Each structure stands twice: as C-alpha cells, then as structure tokens.
A and B are shown apart, each in its own frame.
Chain A
C-alpha cells in the first residue's frame, strides 16, 4: 500500500501543472451549451493544444500514436487538469475514451493509421451508435441490419440516445449481420462515416433542456467492409472491450471535480447560514467520506490496471455504482444549500443537478451494473 508518487511521477505532475498554468489563462471563453458548432470547435481546439504539448492520448499505446503513459500518469493528468479547471474532454469523449482505445486494441494497422491520429490531433469527432429504441439494457437485442453488397455493408435501421451525433464525423456502430444466429452471435462493429448518404440525425431534447443526444435514422447507408473492426459476427466481443473502457476510465476525472464542488457547497453553506443546520452539515460530512473513498477506489483500480497492462476490469462496475449515486446525492445536497435558488436554471448547480440524473442510466443502468457485480464478480447464478 503505497500512496506516494515516484520522483518521475512528481516531475510529470510538476511539468503538467506548469504547462496548464501557462495555457489556461489564454483560453477563449466557453461557448454557450446550445451552440454545437462552437462547442465542437472549442473542444477540438483544446485537444489540438494537448496534442501539440505532447499530452494527447497519454494512456494510449505508443504504436497507436499515444504516449504510452502508465495508468498512474494518466491519473495524475486527470487530477491536475480537473484541479486547474481545464476544459473537459467534451465532444471528444467517445473517440478518446472508448472508440479510440477499442480500435487501438482490436483494429488492423491500416485502421489504426486511418482513425487514431485525427482523434489525437483534434480533427475528428466520434459518436456511439449502440442503443436502439428496442435495445437499451438488452443491447444484444439490436435490430439495425447490415448486409453485404460488394465491398460495402448496406445498413438500415435506427439508433437512439446517440450523444454528440450532431457534430460527429464517425460513429462506432453496432449492426446485425446474421439475423439467423443467436442474439449475441450475429453482431458486427463498424466505423460509419456520419456524412454518408442515408443518415438522418434528429436531435432529442434532454430534461436539462439541451440537445446532448439524438436519434439517428439509417436508410441503406453504405459502409465499406474495410471499416469493420474485428471479424464479421464477432462484434459482441469487441463491444465488451469498448464497454470496459467506457465504464473503467470515463468518470475518473469527475471525482476530483466533485470533491471541488463539495468544498464549494460547504463554503456556500457557511456564507448563507445553512451551515447551522446540523442535518445538512452532517450530510455534507458524509459526502466528504464518500468522495474521499471514491478517489481511493480510483487509485486502487489504477494500481490494479497497472498489473493488467491498463485494461480496466469489471471493478469499473463497482466504481460506477458508487459514483453515480454519490454524484446525485452531491447535487441534491447543493440544492438543499441553495434553497429557493436551486430552482434557478441560471445556477450552474441546478443544471448539474439535472444532468446528474443521467448517471445511473447512461453507460449501463445501476440495475445492470448490479447484475454484472452479482454474476461476474460474486459468481451468483444467472437469473432466468
């Protein structure tokens, strides 16, 4: 049990800190949440700066264009960027955190050369076309069809809840290539260009009022066979790789942010007198315990990943269960501190409270995470 960082790790931290201190003040102001083109430009601009400074794809393998940093260095990166208030990964979420890593580990040399550098340089945005209206938690029930026609797959069907679809260049798409096979067997993982004819994106409004995600209709869209990652009908295995990255690493930096918000909430309570409410005060104290522990859990998972070459295990489900719940509790407590002002959509915490509602749903609901913990970690029998 060693929580101290090595001199090399500390040096990495110091260099990163210095770089952030130099670059952040010169950053343009954040665009409005509804201005998608501006948000895309902002997020890609930040990615480009990271790339130029040598911080792009820190945790990606070197032969995929990454820096081959250790999981601990990646942790330091997430901690420091979050502490410094650097822009969040934003529209690059899918490309950097799960489509990219999936291609890096499952794609061919040509596929890696084609898709990975533009993600790292901040030139292309990816989205995730997994969910369908009839296939959410039961992802393997997906029905979007793809059949071979010469060198192309022809794809028809529809996807839903596709985050950032409006501004994406590529989509990691799951399709059914063998309708006769058992449900998990006939699935294939494709990289679909979002400007191909036959694609219609219809933005959906979230309960927070924004258009984070969309419905995507696919009408005989042609996707080259060369865009298939993994073998035909072997897409379920590739999907598991994608999901382990999505659940394993995606929320790490946010824990740091939550600890900062919690301290701000406490200070606000001191200012407006709510601190005198012992029930509320104790609730904030308890949240302090939870977020401290969630940070330790992150350090634990990262230490474990160091032993497995960086591939996150099912421990990500334990983390996601704890974290998604704690995050919702945090913003409920913030609302308690704000009082009537918690009804003001102009307050950042009000919007954060609304968006925190998605955490127990997106990337696999809490119920599904519990199924995973029960069956794959605890080894309980599968339900019928």
Chain B
C-alpha cells in the first residue's frame, strides 16, 4: 500500500494546474463574472434569441438566466485538446486511458480556479456523444430538478421539457428548474440501490469505475445512468475539495499580511484556529475523495461527497470571515467560491441522501 500520489499523477496535476492558471487565472475569472453579471450588476433576465436545433431542449420559454453566454468555447476546446474530457476514455477510442484517480485530480484543479461550464456532464459524455471528448461539443444533463448551462449546451442528455430559467445565485452557473411533475429524475435513489444489491465488502459501482459509456442510441440521447450519478457525486466532491483548498490557502495568505492592532491578524489565535480547522476539513476531505477514487465504492463516494461539500462551504464562509469587510464585497473572490460550493451541493442528491446511504451501509447485511 502506498496512498501517496505517483510521479505521473503529480505531473498530471501540475500540467492541469499550469494550463488552468495560465488560461483561466484570476483575470479570466473576473472577466467571466463581469460578462455574466452584465453592466451595472442588475439581476434582471434579458431576452434571448431562443436557440434551437439541439435535442430535447423544448420549453425553455425564451428566457435566459443570468450568466448565459459566458462559456468560453475556445477554452473548452483547449480543455478537450488537453484531454480533460477524454481522460478516462480508453486510448483505443482516442482517449487518454487514465482512471478515476486521475480524473479526480483534474477536477480538483478545476474546482480550485472555479472553472465554469458543465464540465462533469461533458466529461461523462465523452465516448457517448460525438465531439464531447474533443471539447467541440458542450454537453449538459438534468440532475434532480435542476439543469446547469442549458442554454449554452449543444447537447442535452435526458429530458428537460418544461425547464424554466431561474436567477442563479452563482453568476457562473446558469440554472434551469424542471417542473415538479418531471420528478423523480434520473438517478434518484441510484445511490441506495447498489447498497441493497451487494453484501458488505465488494460493492462494485454499477457501470464499473473504469467503464466508459455506451454511445447514445441513434434516435435519442440516453439519460445518464446510475453509475453516472455516482461519478457525478465523486467528481463534484473533487471540485469541492479544490475549492476548499483554495479558500484555505487564500485565508492563510490574507491572515499573514493584513495587519491590525500592530500585528498580522494571523498571529491572533481566534484567526489561527479558524484556519487550522479549515485545514483539518480540507485534509480529511482530501483523503476521503482520493480513497473513493481508488475504491469506487458507493459508500466511500458518499463519505467523500459529504465531507468535501462541508469543507468547501464552511471553508468559503470561514475565508469570508478572515477577510472581514473586504470578504463581503463583490470584488473579492470569496463569494464566488461560496456560491459555487452551494450550487454543487445540489448535484446528484444532497447531504440527506449521502447520510442516509451511509447509515444504511452501517447495518448492511446485518438486519
């Protein structure tokens, strides 16, 4: 057993970090926020030309949510060229042939820089939807009662009829809400079934961790599968981890330099302890996420998700606290991390489902 990252994994992480920091650094992030926010920062919904011709996108009502038209297509293609979407696709199919641990490292980096877009849906579509792997095509899919990036996607996997835009709290994640009648959506209960099916010990992920999706049938696009729900949860956890690590680092950096009462605020124990607890949450979430990527065990994934969601949300809040009044401004990036973290907590079932699944796991096979 050696849980540490291999040299190849370190190199991969560094490569992606370099790409993202070069191509989607702070300036690019702020520019994207400004584009999404519109002049004056009003949160009204503007009209849209009602894009058409893509599959399954009827009924969006001609309105578009705040934040649309901000997806950088060129960056998306660059991500494709770098193998971000095809990372787990076998080499024989034109992919990079890596596994879940590598995907988790890549999504952690995406989370660090708050990379916008339906990254996970497109990643999961690589191999099933033509053009997804290369970043030519942007793919989204409904998740629970929400759809991210509906207006900007070229392809939607799953049924989104009746979707209505909502004013998304995250300026960089446009959202649509699906009608209540559409529920239960794809994957609902998916986390629980694998538990019930397997005994204690070996509970393989339904689609297999390394498995890549079957191409969607010619006549229509398949809804994401049960395994996709688990993968969405794991990759979301990885993004949350990246965001949590970033806000922890940002808070520490600020605490070192901002002075009050004649010394850096980081010398005050109240601030030190906030930061120390942030780090503990990050490190505990990190090992949980990495381990879940290795085992692909549904209970490990649920645990990773629960801890990473918490590390991201509480990390952003504590970072805001360390930043003081500056943290409450639009100019600081802290709120962007918090809002994205909130948005991610809604994916693939929230904390309730993870906790229930983990509770079931405790008594699996014994009752």
Contact = CB atoms under 8 A, between A and B. Distances in A.
Interface of A: 1-6, 9, 72, 75, 262-263, 266-267, 270, 275, 281-286, 288-290, 292-294, 296-297, 299-300, 302-304, 306-307, 315, 318, 321-322, 367, 369-371, 373-375, 377-384
19 contacts: A1-B4, A1-B291, A2-B1, A2-B2, A3-B294, A267-B362, A285-B359, A289-B288, A289-B358, A292-B288, A292-B291, A293-B284, A293-B307, A294-B284, A315-B283, A369-B276, A378-B252, A378-B272, A384-B267
Interface in B270-306: 271-273, 275-277, 279-280, 283-285, 287-288, 290-291, 293-295, 299-300, 302-304, 306
A380 B275 contact: yes
B9 interface: yes
A377 B279 CA distance: 9
Given A1-B4, A293-B287, A297-B287, 12 more contacts: A2-B3, A3-B291, A4-B1, A283-B355, A288-B362, A292-B299, A296-B3, A303-B4, A321-B280, A370-B272, A379-B256, A383-B267
Contact of A263 (B4, B269, B283, B363): B363
Nearest to B362: A266
Nearest to B267: A381
B362 A374 contact: no
B361 interface: yes
A9 B252 CA distance: 40
Contacts of B291: 1, 3, 292-293, 296, 299
A374 B273 CA distance: 7
B2 A270 contact: no
Nearest to B252: A378
Contacts of B358: 284-286, 288-289
B111 interface: no
A303 B279 contact: no
A279 B102 CA distance: 36
B306 to A, nearest CB: 5
B255 interface: yes
Nearest to B359: A285
A350 B151 CA distance: 57
B3 A300 contact: yes
Contacts of B272: 370-371, 374-375, 378, 380, 383
Contact of B359 (A1, A282, A381): A282
B363 A270 contact: yes
Contacts of B304: 289, 293
Contacts of B6: 1-2
A212 to B, nearest CB: 27
A373 B357 CA distance: 33
B328 interface: no
A282 B304 CA distance: 15
Interface string B305-323: 0110000000000000000
Nearest to A3: B294
B266 A380 contact: yes
A96 to B, nearest CB: 23
A5 B357 CA distance: 27
A370 B266 CA distance: 13
Nearest to A4: B1
Contacts of A284: 358-359, 362
Most buried by B among A282, A306, A375: A282
Interface in B334-367: 352, 354-363, 366-367
B357 A285 contact: yes
A-B pairs, top 7 by smallest CB distance, nearest first, are A374-B272, A285-B359, A285-B358, A285-B355, A289-B303, A266-B362, A296-B287
Contacts of A262: 362
Contacts of A375: 272
A44 B101 CA distance: 45
A303 B2 contact: yes
A285 to B, nearest CB: 4
B294 A381 contact: no
B161 interface: no
Interface string B65-91: 000000000000000000000000000
Interface string B246-266: 000000100110000001101
Contacts of A2: 1-3, 6, 294
Contacts of B288: 289, 292-293, 296
Given A296-B291, A378-B252, A289 B354 contact: yes
Contacts of B271: 380
A380 B3 contact: no
B5 interface: yes
Contacts of B267: 380-384
B276 A374 contact: yes
A371 B303 CA distance: 28
B328 to A, nearest CB: 23
B294 A383 contact: no
A373 B303 contact: no
Contacts of A294: 284
Contacts of B269: 367, 370-371, 383
A285 B305 CA distance: 12
B355 A286 contact: yes
Most buried by B among A262, A267, A296, A321: A296
Contacts of A374: 266, 272-273, 275-276
Contacts of B363: 263, 266-267, 270, 275
Interface in B135-158: none
B35 to A, nearest CB: 35
B9 A288 contact: no
A289 B252 contact: no
A33 B266 CA distance: 45
Contacts of A383: 267-269, 272
Contacts of B3: 1-3, 296, 299-300, 302-303
A306 B1 CA distance: 10
Given A293-B287, A303-B4, A285 B280 contact: no
A321 B250 CA distance: 22
Contacts of A281: 355-356, 359
A381 B266 contact: yes
